[in-house]
Amino acid sequence: MIFEIDKIDEEGQSFEVLESKQHFHIDSPDCVLTEDVKIQGRLEKAGQEILCQGLLETSLRVTCTRCLVGFSFPVRSKLNVHFTPQTDNDKPGNEVELTELDFEQEVYEEDRINLSSPVRDLILLSLPQIRLCKKDCAGLCSQCGINLNEKHCDCNKEEPCDPRLAVLQELKDKLK
């Protein structure tokens, strides 16, 4: 996901890329990238600085925090990256301060920018701490370990699932 800065039009340039899922090495037991990563975006030049904004789409397979079953988690996130050239620390920086806080800051070298690392970060950051296969996932029985979405057990259960988590998930669904 490398772009040569010389080849970016002065007035900005739209792009669309599809990068293979293997490229990102997201392959842990509870989180695997299952689809190639599509990005539609735009590059803008401001002197030596490059702004990249776009929409990232892909899909992960993650493990439910409650019942430990794997499920598909679609990712659709906004990519906002601000690239600045690498400078010696001695040199006075003359970079324009960006006020937008939601831009990820990256440094580039040798007249080319690489989106791989910010894209990987964005994919991983899109995952919530609590990942539920469905918002009312019943989880595992704390006593016998059975998956309560699939079966019932005769254990004595007194605490229902935490309603606060369900509220958070609802809020998240609305923001999508």
> In the set 1, 153, 165, 168, which binds Zn ion (CB under 5 A)?
153
**Is residue 66 near Zn ion by the rule CB under 5 A?**
yes
**Is residue 155 near Zn ion by the rule CB under 5 A?**
yes
Residues 6+ away with beta carbon under 8 Å from 58: 21, 33, 35, 36, 37, 38, 74, 75, 123
CA–CA separation, 18 vs 54, rounded Å?
13
Residue closer to Zn ion, measured from CB, 18 or 167: 167
**Is residue 140 near Zn ion by the rule CB under 5 A?**
no
Among candidate residues 132, 155, 126, the one with its CA nearest the CA of residue 66: 132
Region binding Zn ion by CB under 5 A among candidate stretches 57-65, 75-83, 87-95, 164-172: 57-65
**Is residue 130 near Zn ion by the rule CB under 5 A?**
no
**Is residue 62 near Zn ion by the rule CB under 5 A?**
no
Q: How far is the CB of 77 from Zn ion (least distance, A)?
A: 23
CA–CA separation, 149 vs 137, rounded Å?
7
Region binding Zn ion by CB under 5 A among candidate stretches 48-56, 74-82, 107-115, 151-159: 151-159
Region binding Zn ion by CB under 5 A among candidate stretches 35-43, 93-101, 130-138, 163-171: 130-138
Helix (H, G, I), strand (E, B) or coil at 155: coil
The torsion defined by the Cα of 144, 145, 149 and 151, in degrees rounded to 10, comes to: -40
Residue 28 half-sphere exposure toward CB, CA atoms < 13 A: 6
Positions touching Zn ion (CB under 5 A) are 64, 66-67, 133, 137, 141, 143-144, 153, 155
